[in-house]
Structure 1
Amino acid sequence: MRHSIPTCLLSCLAIASAIPVIAMAQIPAPAPAQSSAGAPASALHRPAPEATRVLDQASAEKLLRNTGLTLQWIDWNTRGSAVITRVGTPKGDEWRLRGAQAQAGGPGRLFLDGTITEIGKDYFTFKGLISIDSTPDKGRRCTKDKTWRFAITQNRPYYRLRDFEWCDDLTDYIDIHV
């Protein structure tokens, strides 16, 4: 059964929202260290969020209007969600990206969560987590938190992750459609 994009958007957002909660619920948070002034030490040394560098306004607008994301192992035709939010910081807007795609009737999942650090002509960099679970093979798990690069090449209608074999030598095509 095929789902429309709005149906998938709702179910994929529910999955994307649940994944970090499940993972964090299993890890007890350490007590924050206190400074001599009584404030948590982390609050004194945490840098302010950086603004996303927007070098090309047309590419930024294209990214904001995206129509979803796909991983070829899950489905080329039924897209998951790719939600971009802009959060004001003292240094300007920070662009955050959260996306998910779920295999209809199967265990396959794709999840992205992080910050877009730069948007240039037909590319953007993303600092955050990408996780692939149970696709193309049940039990396959690939999770990495780093800085990633997505780009539009050959006039294609999507930004494609440029790090193709980052997990286990299988080629993963993660695309954000525009």
Structure 2
Amino acid sequence: MRIRPLLLTALLASLTVPGSAQDAAEPTRVLSPKAAQRLMTNKGLTLQWIDWNTRGTAVVQHEGDVWTLRGAQAEAGGPGRLFLDGTITEIGADYFTFKGRIAITDTPDRGRTCDRTKTWHFAITQKRRYYRLREFEWCDDLTDYIDIHF
């Protein structure tokens, strides 16, 4: 049986492979429009090893119902770097979940590399003015405080 190339292309495009980019395009569940606005207008991000006072950028965008987060912080005059890139899967009143990549390099020590793609959880606790990553010791048993400020 011979399948026409156009039909085969359409058939393959309709398949969803677990863990693929198509999964990441699922609509973001916005349970709190107020929190979504707060996240969209954030005031940057920090990793304590790099700098508490000089924030990096955290860009939250949405195209239709899919919200994304892309952020970075760089150590002034040094090699330390933080990078986030992925899709926000849910936004609640005091938390959000993020499916994507977080990478930390050369901080607090040169040569340290932490790079993982998974579902992450950020939350506001103790009436703080930032969301903090709740997976504290996800790499080599050091506690990494990644905060997105508002």
Structure 2 match to 1:8: none
1:101 alignment partner AA: Q
**2:143 maps to 1:171:** yes
Deviation at 1:150, TM superposition (A): 0.1
Match of 1:37 in 2: 7
Partner of 2:96: 124
CA shift for structure 1 position 41: 6.2
Q: Deviations over 1:72-104 (max 9, x none)?
A: 00000000000011012xxxx100000000000
Tell me which residue corresponds to 1:154: 126
Moved over 4 A (4+): none
Secondary structure, counterpart of 1:62 in structure 2? helix
* TM-score between the two structures when normalised by the length of structure 1: 0.75
- Higher helix content, 1 or 2: 1
Give 1:55's match in structure 2, choosing from 12, 31, 44. Answer: 31
The number of equivalent residue pairs is: 141
Cα-Cα RMSD: 1.8
Query: How many Å separate the matches in 2 of 1:120 and 1:37?
Result: 41
In 2, the alpha carbon distance for the partners of 1:99 and 1:41 equals: 35
Specify every segment of 5 or more residues in structure 1 that has no aligned partner in the other structure, as ranges.
1-34
Identity of matched residues, %: 66
Cα deviation for residue 38 of structure 1 reads 3.8
Match of 1:74 among 27, 50, 58: 50
Q: Any stretches of 5+ residues in structure 2 without a counterpart?
A: 17-21
**Aligned equivalents of 1:160, 1:42: Cα separation in 2:** 39
Q: CA deviation at 1:157?
A: 0.4
Cα separation, 1, equivalents of 2:77 and 2:116: 26
Secondary structure of 1:60's counterpart equals helix
Q: Where do residues 128-147 of structure 1 align in structure 2 (5 Å cutoff)?
A: 128-147=100-119
3-state SS of paired residue (1:39): helix
Residues of 2 paired with 1:121 and 1:114: CA distance? 20
